Structure 1
């Protein structure tokens, strides 16, 4: 499902991008306390119904998920950015850099063929693939790291099953048990 971005926040981000002005955002990065950042916006991209702000901060490339921008303010100063930007290429380059760093994880997974494309699009690489009796597919794929592997398989719900490594099976089981326990009790 598409993530929600408040209209006022989205409008302010768009305004800064189109005007070529610096942007001040209150950003809630994963597992961190939200804080203010001043960035030089480059452009906006949408991938699988998720919006992202491509920007630089102190000259370094940054990518911000729009749903995590809690507030935004276009500033009067001009942004430090190239006059012309190929957003498709910028997105691909950032994705490549993201996927080639970190502690990559190989995962053996059983998946419903209807969700295969979603799995392989999220994974860094597919090493093996074979059909199983019963119509499911067995794939060996690589993910960026443990967190990426858990997130990707969680998104597929019951249409995928991690077969190995065991720590991933345990993490997914524990996550499901926590949610099931939360919803057992009446509010």
Structure 2
């Protein structure tokens, strides 16, 4: 590990010029004292590191010196697909490897290319998690990822959405990051299944290797699974009459389903309201979702859904009009007891 750090320190000085010990420590995620020791080690090995004193001082390489130790290892090359996502790279245990790979690439590029690469890095950042939600704790992500890289069979204990723990022997095929949530795609019981990584209670390698299914395409599998899940979740279609303001809210609150509903909207009436057909989940979930549109939407059908929304509105009027509250338990109009199903909560096992 120290050899990798020494190479990273050398490449930092080569790529960026003079750097102070605190700057180097921040880049390498070590203490300043460790930087002092590493600089001494580089000097002892023949690398011409110069220390400039004073307020504008720091460490630099002797003019004209360049290392040719810029070849990428297999792990570094494999980490480059995460170059724009340092957070996920750290989650996968590839943070240090990715940092070294980027430094090697900078060192190998001509000056103009290296400057351009740094410009892109300064002006582009990918933040994977969704807004206003902390990322799931994923203590077993690195173990699952390692099993994917090395094609190793694992024994896993997993908590289903119902809370029931199950044990599985898995052949890990791939890792997916969707909306800030990590998923493991693994072969089990004869076919690929999807597992939310935060629900793993234990992941242990068996030592056995496995062969990937011939022709398995992770991206194609994920897209097909997502479409099946969307079809399973959308159990009905609500006919709505919505205001101009609700037309702006629909894509934000219902995502792709809202966009598609607007694309098929009927002509606006004299007040700008339009009729749309919106795919919805179970009736209990749909009531809560549609109430978020408030008075900007009227449910026209199906009759059962219209009646359920009307009942929730009556209960809300009683709660707020009666001036009392006191009914507890989260209030009328909220989704009834029972689980709200969401695509992010529903792996296939």
Task: Pick the TM interval, shorter chain.
Answer: 0.5 to 0.7
Q: What are the equivalent positions in structure 2 for 1:80-159 lying under 5 Å apart?
A: 80-82=211-213, 85-101=216-232, 104-108=235-239, 111=246, 113-114=248-249, 116-117=251-252, 119-121=254-256, 126=261, 128-129=264-265, 139-143=276-280, 145-146=281-282, 150=285, 158=292
Among residues 144, 151, 159, which one is paired with 1:20 in the alignment?
151
Structure showing the higher strand proportion among its residues: 1
Contact 2:154 2:205 (8 Å CA) reproduced: yes
- State the structure with more CA Rg: 2
**CA deviations over 1:109-133 (Å, ceiling 9, x no partner):** 6647256145132679637436799
1:74 maps to which residue? Answer: 205
2:46 maps to which residue? Answer: none
Q: What are the equivalent positions in structure 2 for 1:60-71 lying under 5 Å apart?
A: 60-71=191-202
Structure showing the higher helix proportion among its residues: 2
CA distance in 1, matches of 2:282, 2:228: 17
CA distance in 1, matches of 2:259, 2:158: 27
Contact 2:251 2:259 (8 Å CA) reproduced: no
Q: What's the TM-score, normalizing by structure 2?
A: 0.40
* Cα gap change, 1:22 to 1:31, in 2 (>3 Å): same
* Cα gap change, 1:84 to 1:118, in 2 (>3 Å): farther
Offset of residue 171 of structure 1: 8.1
- Where in structure 2 are there 5+ consecutive unaligned residues? 1-132, 300-304, 317-327, 333-349
Aligned-pair Cα RMSD in Å: 4.1
Q: Comparing 75-84 with 117-126, which one deviates more in the overlay?
A: 117-126
Contact 1:25 1:72 (8 Å CA) reproduced: yes
Q: Comparing 44-53 with 105-114, which one deviates more in the overlay?
A: 105-114
Aligned residue pair count: 174
Q: What's the TM-score, normalizing by structure 1?
A: 0.67
- Where in structure 1 are there 5+ consecutive unaligned residues? 182-187
**Which aligned segments of 4 or more residues in structure 1 are displaced greater than 6 angstroms?**
130-138, 170-174
CA distance in 2, matches of 1:153, 1:21: 44
Offset of residue 97 of structure 1: 2.6
Contact 1:41 1:79 (8 Å CA) reproduced: no
Secondary structure of 1:179's partner? coil
1:41 maps to which residue? Answer: 172
1:4 aligns with 2:136: yes
Contact 1:107 1:163 (8 Å CA) reproduced: no
